[in-house]
Amino acid sequence: MTAPAPIPPRNWPRIPAEDWAAALLAVDPGLGGICLTSRAGPLRENWLAAALALGTRGHARVPVGAGEDRLFGGLDLAATLASGRPVIASGLVEEVGTGTLVVPMAERLAPGIAARLGQAWDKGAGFAVIALNEATEDEPAPPRALLDRLAFYVTPEARAQRDSAAPLSAFTAEDIAGAMARLPDVSVPDALGEALVAAAARLGIGSARAALLALAATRAVAALRGHESAAQEDAELATALVLAPRATRLPDQEEDPVDPERSPPPDDTPPPEDAAEPPTREDTTPPEDLLLAAARAAIPPDMLAQLAARGALARRSGANAAGAGEDQKGSARGRPAGTRRGDPRSGARLDLVATLRTAAPWQPLRRKMAGVEDRVLVTPEDFRVRQYKQKREKVVIFVVDASGSAAMTRLAETKGAIELMLAEAYVRREQVALIAFRGTGAELLLPPTRSLVQAKRRLSGLPGGGGTPLSAGLGAALQLADQVRRRGQTPHLAVMTDGRANVSRDGAPGRAAAQEEAVATARAIRFAGIAALLIDTAPRPQQAAKDMASALGALYLPMPRVDAQALSSTLRAALNPTQGAA
Amino acid sequence: MTSQAFPFSAIVGQEEMKQALTLTAIDPTIGGVLVFGDRGTGKSTAVRSLAALLPQIAAVRGCPYNCRFDAPNPACPHCQQHPPEREETRATPVIDLPLGATEDRVVGALDLERALTRGEKAFEPGLLARAHRGFLYIDEVNLLEDHLVDLLLDVAASGENVVEREGLSVRHPAKFVIVGSGNPEEGELRPQLLDRFGLSVEVASPDNIKERIEVIRRRDAYERDTAAFMKKWRAADTRHRKKIIAARALIDTVETPDAVLEKTAELCIALGADGLRGELTLMRAARARAAFAGHGEVTLEDLRAVAALALRHRLRRDPLDEAGSTTRVARVVEQVLPE
């Protein structure tokens, strides 16, 4: 660990992002951690084993569904009972010390726990996190309180199976040890640090943590590469690894936002390598622009297009994750509503602490009577069980026909109704989602949310016009309703259409086939037992809409002139009677 | 990484947040601060640095409820049993209410140890007791469980914590200032809780690159050599604390002219802010600002400077108004108090 050995020349660019991330985290746990998005499987496990082997400070795996007690410590009941005084058990966070916490199924992590992990970091706990995210594109991502503090978000590309025993591609334990020894002395030139901050700002990254993490990553890269003072290329790699996945917009440049020459060739090795060694470089280019070029190269081409099209909100680290916080919280398991006397055998959960509390004052007496000294005597009347309030949360899913000429008004008024409903949502504990269908398909414009701020942000500038793929819209609604149910919430559909489909789910035009398909999907919704409401938006009530409503098993409401106020109050009236049934 | 809080004076920009925390430190009756904003904008950094700015308080030695020596609470469970003997000074408590805290930990509960070992029924004070005469900080306040929110609202309103459980019957004073922070995108706050906060601040990342660079530079310096960084900023923090202490001494003598009171009422009416709480807070905040500047009289400038802080979270929501509440307050201030 002493004399920094010179780093042998190596083919740095060939190292994939996730391996860089693992090595950098081993060098500096202050980088917070890695969010690895990947399906479970041997590939992931091998990477994980290799990554953990690089770290020198130990690790622990957080059991899925671990409660706060397990993570942050709490009363150790066995020991408490044995010793007759409260014994506090340490939690994983304390046990792991400065090691690495592995969080499997990070997308299911409760936001409350994520927030407490963040608080532990703020208070100086030195652990790192490897979060394994298995969420797919349209599912909620891990809680933002956690993501924000992790330096690296990586999605490994499929590639030849890694040998679990082999060390990470290019890095050896000596590399890491050498880099750790060099790290405290690595300096970052002011201009480079400033360029990083400027690049973060131009990529639309608000959080100051991102820039700090990029700075720390630059330092770690330099330490690994044996640079005493961080070089431009170190900062470029850090930008590709830390800033690019957080980008919410493309830096404004004259050239075409999706520049095929700059995007990495699809068949080649993963993106960051291009970042590490940009093809040519003129000394006159300001460092900030070089960093931005590195960021661009690291953003996958499809996301570049998405960012360019939307001009806002990167899906991976953006509002999706924010919605996740809300969703997971939910009331899926009901909130604790105190404890009461009761029999734990009837399926209720015993509240041990409360039970002990009840038994405690009687101990001297009972011990005397039973003639024992060192045991806690609990009798059935001490039993206390936990009560949960099963208040189910409602999710109102708007399914809006955005086709044809009236689309714009319809969408605008629906947006108004959504905002009105959300403005009251804190009272009613409702979430709202919006699916619009037009052209050849349906799109989830607003994932279930309770946040007015988020709704406003996502609903500005809705597109409209084109054909009517009613069946695609209903299909998307069914899928979302299903997801919502699995979270323990109750979905309600509010379908706004004139009931006349003319595009099939595969995008093919043709009224008859499209209509048939739409009716079939509507029946599927009905069989799934999802409460629905159909709002006929045609100028005059349509038979097609009535038929669709009966296929859906939905309440039929003609509303030729949709307006936000009327819509939200109608929905309120129509939805509330069913509340008790949910 | 360290457990020493980042120095308050070293926070770059975020003037509004710093002002709100300073004002509430001068006059706790203003009623706390809510800091809302995106992640990574330094919300909790600022709140955690508040502790270093607060003057010490004098309390009955050994009393976990922070009773005053000259006037111990007659209902104080500690002082009833142990008559106050001596006084001691201690730091103003700034108590963290962790999200996962159980009701037991918050309100207090039966002391398990004494119950199990000695069979005594004794009360173990919770976080609310420790926060008495100080600050209660709730990070991610919008993620707090509903039943805890209800409980806090009740205690904050009555200034007293009443525990009736497990055969215990305890009441003790719990007057504290709630400081909360959170990210509005992750959930909104109930209006009842919003209203408890005297001042509210919306923070965002600075849009000016120079400032952002300075933020990163200082934070980086702090993390790399905390001791040196703290030393560098200690004098500035001390100066700030002395100014707060001076303002506290001055505040009772600060005059509030009728003209200012009239404008206060006018502002609140024009904004349709509910209840009288808005006016009271606005006036108190303006007075604290005047005291901090060492002035003997509140001016319209003070009022203008704190209007958004005191009022923006009290507006009735108008979801169809695209403008945020900050803009709405600014509009009205422009009308009522033209420069």
Identify the CATH number of the domain in which residue B319 sits. Answer: 1.10.8.80
CA distance to partner chain A, nearest, from residue B274 (Å): 17
Across the interface, of A148, A201, A422, the residue whose CB is closest to B40 is A148
Residues A383 and A426 in one domain: no
Here the ipTM equals 0.71
Distance to chain A for B15, nearest Cα, Å: 17
Do A357 and A417 belong together in one domain? no
- Closest approach of chain A CAs to the CA of B217, in angstroms? 8
Residue with tokens 């770059």: B12
Across the interface, which of B41, B140, B209 has its CB nearest the CB of A115?
B140
Q: Is A88 helix (H, G, I), strand (E, B) or coil?
A: strand
Q: Is residue B239 in a domain?
A: no
Q: Nearest to residue A100, comparing CAs of A173, A27, A185? A: A27
Note whether residue B68 is domain-resident: no
- Please compute, for residue A255, the number of CA atoms within 13 A of its CA located in the half-sphere on the CB side: 9
B100 to A451: CB separation less than 8 angstroms, yes or no: no
Distance CA A55, CA A23 (A): 8
For A154, the enclosing helix (H) or strand (E) is strand A152-154
Cα-flanking dihedrals φ and ψ of residue B263, to 5°?
A: -65, -35
DSSP A457: H
For residue B320, the enclosing domain spans: 252-336
Q: How many domains does chain A have?
A: 4
Compute, in degrees rounded to 10, the torsion defined by CA atoms B318, B319, B320, B323. 80
B115 with A363: Cβ contact below 8 A: yes
Which 8-state DSSP code applies to residue A285?
Answer: S
- The reply to whether B183 and B319 lie within a common domain is no
Residue A153 contacts residue A38 (beta carbons within 8 Å): no
Domain stops at, among B203, B218, B234: B203
Which pair of tokens denotes residue A519?
A: 């009716």
Please give the torsion angle defined by the CA atoms of residues B43, B44, B46 and B49, in that order, rounded to the nearest 10 degrees. Answer: 180
Whether B288 has a pLDDT exceeding 90, the answer reads yes
B311 touches B292 (CB < 8 A): no
CATH number at A136 reads 3.40.50.300
- Whether residues A432 and A517 share a domain: the answer is yes
Pair (A272, A345) in one structural domain? no
Contact check, Cβ <8 Å, A365/B99: no
Q: Is residue A439 part of a domain?
A: yes
- Show the CA angle centred on residue A562, arms to residues A558 and A564, nearest 5°: 130
Q: Which parts of chain A sit beneath pLDDT 50?
A: 1-6, 8-9, 163-167, 253-283, 309-334, 346, 390, 577-582
Q: Are residues B167 and B21 part of one domain?
A: yes
Q: Which of A174, A195, A218 is the last residue of a domain?
A: A174
Residues B169 and B49 reside in one and the same domain: yes
- Write the pLDDT tens digit of every residue in B89-107: 888 888 888 776 777 788 8
- Tell me the one-letter amino acid at A299: I
Instruction: Give the pair of three-digit tokens for residue B67.
Output: 């009773």
A223 found inside a domain: yes
Residue A193 to chain B, least CA–CA distance (Å): 8
**Same domain membership, residue B265 and residue B188:** no
Q: Would you say residue B152 lies in a domain?
A: yes
| Tens-place pLDDT, residues B187-207 | 667 777 787 788 999 888 877
What are the tens digits of pLDDT across the range B222-231?
988 889 999 9
Last residue within a domain, chosen from B142, B173, B203:
B203
Residue B42 lies in a domain: yes
Mutate to test the interface with B, among A87, A149, A194, A246 (most CBs of B within 10 A): A194
CA distances, A316 to each of A209, A302, A303, B143, B238 (Å): 17, 12, 10, 22, 44
Residues B276 and B193 in one domain: no
- Do A556 and A495 reside in the same domain of the chain? yes
Which region holds residue A338: left if phi is over 0, alpha if psi is between -120 and 50, else beta? left
Q: Give B70's pLDDT tier (boundaries 50, 70, 90).
A: confident
Q: Are residues B136 and B264 in the same domain?
A: no
My answer on whether B48 and B187 are in the same domain is yes
Q: How many A/B residue pairs have CB atoms within 8 Å?
A: 181
Q: Do A425 and B139 touch (CB under 8 A)?
A: no
pLDDT at B129: 87
Q: What is the CATH number of the domain that holds B199?
A: 3.40.50.300
Residue B42 has its nearest CB partner, among A84, A208, A456, at A208
* Shared-domain flag, residues B272 and B191: no
A309, part of any domain: no
What's the predicted TM-score (pTM) here?
A: 0.67
A420 and B320: CB-CB below 8 Å?
A: yes
Query: Are A563 and A513 members of one domain?
Result: yes
Burial classification of residue A11, based on how many CB atoms lie within 10 Å of its CB (0-12 exposed, 13-18 middle, 19 or more buried): exposed
CB contact under 8 A, B140 and A145: yes
Closest CA in chain A for residue B211 = A197
pLDDT digits (tens, 9 = 90+) for B242-283: 999 999 999 999 988 998 888 888 888 888 776 678 888 899
Contact A144 B39 (CB under 8 A): yes
Q: Across the interface, do A194 and B98 touch by the CB < 8 Å criterion?
A: no
* B277 has catalytic annotation: yes
Break chain A down into helix, strand, coil percent, rounded to 5. Answer: 45, 15, 40
Whole-number average pLDDT of chain B: 82
- Both A95 and A135 in one domain: the answer is yes
Of the pLDDT bands very low, low, confident and very high (cuts 50, 70, 90), residue B293 is very high
Range of the domain at A358: 335-389
**pLDDT confidence tier of residue B321, bands split at 50, 70 and 90:** low
Partners of residue B207 in chain A, C-beta under 8 Å? 201
Q: At what angle do helices A319-329 and A111-122 cross, to 10 degrees?
A: 110
Quick one: B30 and B164 in the same domain? yes
Do the beta carbons of residue A262 and residue A295 sit within 8 Å? no
In this structure, what CATH number is given to the domain that contains residue A566?
3.40.50.410
Closest residue in B to A388 (Cα–Cα): B147
* pLDDT recorded at residue A75: 64
Contacts of B259 (CB under 8 A, 6+ apart): B300
Confidence of residue B291 (pLDDT cuts 50, 70, 90): very high
Same domain (yes/no): A107, A209: no
Whether residue A211 and residue B212 make contact (CB cut-off 8 A), yes or no, is yes
pLDDT (tens digit per residue) in A417-459: 777 777 765 555 678 888 888 887 888 888 888 777 777 777 7
CA gap B294, B299 in Å, rounded: 12
* A278 three-state secondary structure: coil
Assess whether A213 and A284 both reside in one domain.
Answer: yes
What average pLDDT does the structure give for chain A? 73
Start-to-end Cα distance in chain A: 63
Residues A81 and A97 in one domain: yes
Are B191 and B107 found together in one domain? yes
Enumerate the residues of chain A whose CB falls inside 8 A of the CB of residue B48.
122
Report if residue B208 sits inside a domain: no
Q: Which residue of A has its CA nearest to B113?
A: A85
Among A565, A543, A546, smallest CA distance to A557 is for A546
Q: Is residue A450 part of a domain?
A: yes
Tens of pLDDT, residue by residue over B129-188, are: 888 888 898 888 887 777 788 788 788 878 888 887 666 788 888 888 888 888 877 666
Cβ B270 vs Cβ B336: under 8 Å: yes
Instruction: Please give the Cα distance from A69 to A235 (Å, whole number).
Output: 40
| Burial class of A380 by CB neighbour count within 10 A (0 to 12, 13 to 18, 19+) | exposed
User: How many domains is chain B built from?
Assistant: 2
Chain-chain contact of B39 with A209 (C-beta, under 8 angstroms)? yes
Instruction: Evaluate whether residue A475 is within a structural domain.
Output: yes
| Chain A residue numbers touching B44 (CB-CB < 8 A) | 119, 122
Question: What pLDDT does residue A261 have?
Answer: 37
Question: With contacts defined as CB-CB under 8 Å, which chain A residues touch B113?
Answer: 85-86
Do A521 and A398 share a domain, yes or no? yes
B183 and B257 inside one domain: no
With vertex at residue B253, the alpha carbon angle to CA B251 and CA B255, rounded to the nearest 5 degrees, is 95
Catalytic residue among B61, B277, B284, B289: B277
In A, which residues are within 8 Å of B6 by CB distance?
none
In terms of CA atoms, which chain A residue is nearest residue B40?
Answer: A207
Question: Would you call B99 and A119 a contact, using CB atoms and an 8 Å cutoff?
Answer: yes
Residue A11's identity, in one-letter code, is N
In a domain, B209, yes or no: no
Q: Which of A115, A144, A456 lies nearest to residue B99, judging by beta carbons?
A: A115
Please tell me which of the candidates B116, B118, B205 has its beta carbon nearest to residue A207: B205
Judgement on whether residues A170 and A216 belong to the same structural domain of the protein = no
DSSP line for A536-557: E-SSS--HHHHHHHHHHTPEEE
B256 plus B196 within the same structural domain: no
The closest CB to that of B187, out of A200, A419, A451, belongs to A451
CB contact under 8 A, A451 and B139: no
Give contacts of B217 with chain A, Cβ < 8 Å.
193
- A330 contacts on B by Cβ (under 8 Å): none
Contact predicate B183/A454, CB 8 Å: no
